[in-house]
A and B are shown apart, each in its own frame.
Chain A
Amino acid sequence: MASITFREVEGSSPKYWMLFGFLGLFVLFGALAWNSMHHHGHVITGMNNQIVWGLPHVFAVFLIVAASGALNVASIASVFNKPMYKPLAPLSAILALALMLGGLLVLVLDLGRSDRLIVAMTHFNFKSMFTWNVFLYSGFFALVGAYLWTMLDRSVKTYSKAAGTAAFIWRLTLTTGTGSLFGFLIARELYGSSMLAPMFIIMSFAYGLAIYLMVLAAAYAWTGRPLGDAVMLRLKTLLAVFIAAVLYFVVVYHMTLLYFASRQDAVAFILRDGGMITTLFWVGQILIGSVVPLVILLTALGKQRMWIMVACALIIVGGIVQMYVTIIGAQAFPLDMFPGMIEKSSFFDGQIHHYSPSMPELFLGLGGVAIALLVTTFAVKVLRLLPASLDDATVAKLEH
């Protein structure tokens, strides 16, 4: 097997620093958003006692799900022994860590008492899915960190497969945990389903890979390093398979719910009666997030670099919309305490709940995205994560 040269990106061009500054600016906005939310309380957000989880959770859960998905390329390399993917693995691991960091920051900075984070680290209720997630997230950092180390340090290279396998199993468990945050809720018709865990796993494959492909292509284009079509075409086919699987899970999930009379109204709200939420579901999640990318990736368009990037961008947008529909949509539909009765109260019982996200929430969420990208940008400058070349000839040699 031919060896691959990994090299840091130079990171001294004005373009690099402009990117750095641009992301830094959004991190700053995110910090300011948190500061004002912390100072005034959640009264300045669009969240209320009906829609209790809002845009920050949409971004946070998306980033956390995408983080575990971003690790896939590395897993394929070391767990499934595909030599072609080996040079792609270090970026995959660092991206996973960066996205996880961004997501977690958004999640904890949205807490009503974000100043008491230490309490969440010292008091545990092991019946809570949230508590399990705290351990799953910390373990993810430890395992992926160790895995990255085995990739970068030749002296511990022999442990790479073991670390990679452990990280792979862990990330599957982690996304099961993230999906179960919702799956383990009995109160709401659209949650309380074991379908959510596997659905989140397959979604993580798709979102993580889409982000990975965009970051990889951008890194190679902006540093002028060669990136051959062999890599891109292989990965885009994989992405198409993931998206098709996501669609399959979405269909089965909704069909299952539709069969329960008690849940039909809630599903009808998402699929037919929900106005804005329904539009987001059909146009955002299904059309933009799945169908169009699938068409692009599976037709001749998918042979062009530009169109692959468009498909990836659409998948990411569709993914954020999907989280919005999953998180906000389920809360917008009122709790059905007295089935069959019309409910009315000062606490908005029996009404569809409205949510209009506020600026601080949006910027807190974007701040998390910016942190993830900033960490990645910095990491490729200080660590040898990217192969000097990924042209077709270099990649072809790996396979023999």
Chain B
Amino acid sequence: MTRLLMVGAIVLTTAAVAWAGMEDDDEPRSGRVPRPVITEPIKGERCVEDEAYMRRNHMKLLDHHRDETVLRGIRTKKYSLKECINCHASEKTGSVATAKEDFCVSCHSYAAVRIDCFDCHSTKPQGPIAKYPPSAEPTHYKHEIDGGAQ
């Protein structure tokens, strides 16, 4: 079922992107549909997987990881939502989902896919954002090198 929903979400996303793309051709750049603002992460140079893969599949990774963590207590960092937030929180708001331009919200409202992650999850990294200077090495890198994740 979850799979089906996921497929549905992807189809919707793709459709929305395609539709918005068409709009763009007809209208000038300042069209009615605001493009998602994808800000550079505040730290690290690359994501845990390549961008194209993440755009399509981040929800699968997160869903799998959440069950591993909640049900079995596996706390690897690589696909953990907390680590996403640590890197992608906006420098301005310190959050991934507070302002319209924050990382998660900006894309999800563009694709019209409602998420309820942040009904429960904090949208901010643990501690003040200053704790994570933009140049800091993301934790999941270390784990990739360690092989600490499964």
Chains A and B belong together in one complex: yes
B1 beta carbon closer than 8 Å to chain A: yes
Task: Kindly supply a per-residue 1/0 record for chain B positions 1-20, scoring 1 wherever the CB is within 8 Å of any chain A CB and 0 otherwise.
Answer: 11001000000000000000
Those of A118-161 within 8 Å (CB) of chain B: 118, 122
Residues of B within 8 A of A122 (CB): 1-2
Residues 1-52 (chain B) with a chain A CB within 8 angstroms: 1-2, 5
* Chain A residues within 8 Å of B, Cβ to Cβ: 115, 118, 122
* Identity of the chain A residue whose Cβ is nearest the Cβ of B1 in the assembled complex: A122
Contacts of B1 in A (CB 8 A): 118, 122
B3 CB to nearest A CB, Å: 11
Instruction: Report the minimum CB–CB distance from A125 to chain B (whole Å).
Output: 13
Q: Give B119's nearest chain A residue, CB to CB.
A: A113
User: CA separation between A122 and B1, bound complex, in Å?
Assistant: 7
Contacts of A115 in B (CB 8 A): 116
Q: How far is the CB of B1 from chain A (nearest CB, A)?
A: 4
Give the complex CA separation of A118 and B2 in angstroms. 10
- With both chains docked as a complex, state the minimum distance between the C-beta of A37 and any C-beta of chain B, in angstroms: 15
A122 to B6, CA, bound (A): 14
Give complex CA distance A164, B129 in Å: 67
Q: Which residue of B lies closest to A121 (CB)?
A: B1
Quick one: closest A residue to B116, CB to CB? A115
The smallest beta-carbon distance between B123 and chain A, in angstroms, is 19
In the complex, 5 of the A-B residue pairs with CB atoms within 8 angstroms, ordered by the A residue number, are A115-B116, A118-B1, A118-B5, A122-B1, A122-B2
With both chains docked as a complex, state the minimum distance between the C-beta of B34 and any C-beta of chain A, in angstroms: 25
A118 to B1 CA separation, bound complex (whole angstroms): 9
B115: min CB distance to chain A, Å: 12
Q: How far is the CA of A115 from the CA of B116 in the complex (A)?
A: 10
Q: In whole angstroms, what is the CA distance A58 to B85 when docked?
A: 43
What residues of B have a CB within 8 angstroms of the CB of A118 in the complex?
1, 5
Residues of A within 8 A of B116 (CB): 115
Closest chain B CB from A123 CB (angstroms): 9
Cβ contacts under 8 Å, B2 to chain A: 122
Lowest 5 A-B CB distances belong to which pairs? A122-B1, A118-B1, A115-B116, A122-B2, A118-B5
Docked CA distance A118–B5 (Å):
10
A77 to chain B, nearest CB (A): 40
With both chains docked as a complex, state the minimum distance between the C-beta of B2 and any C-beta of chain A, in angstroms: 8
Cα A92 to Cα B2 in complex, Å, equals 39
- Interface mask (B72-115 → A, CB under 8 Å = 1, otherwise 0): 00000000000000000000000000000000000000000000
Q: Give the shortest distance, in Å, between A240 (CB) and chain B (any CB).
A: 49
**C-beta contact mask, B135-147 vs A, less than 8 Å → 1, else 0?**
0000000000000
Nearest-neighbor residue (CB-CB) of A115 within chain B: B116
A contact residues around B5 at 8 Å (CB): 118
How close is A55's CB to chain B, nearest CB, in angstroms? 25
The chain A residue sitting closest to B2, CB to CB, is: A122
A258 to chain B, nearest CB (A): 44
- How far is it, in angstroms, between the C-alpha of A122 and the C-alpha of B3 when the chains are bound? 12
- Give the Cβ gap from A148 to chain B, nearest Cβ, in Å: 30
- CB of B22 to closest CB in A, whole Å: 31
Task: Give CA–CA (A137, B2) in the complex, Å.
Answer: 23
Give the residue name and chain of the B residue nearest to A123 (CB): B1
For residue A115, give the distance in angstroms from its CB to the closest CB of chain B.
8
* Cα distance, A122 to B116, chains bound together (Å): 18
B105 to chain A, nearest CB (A): 18
The chain A residue sitting closest to B5, CB to CB, is: A118
Residue of B nearest to A116 (CB): B116
The docked-state distance in angstroms from the alpha carbon of A280 to that of B1 is 45
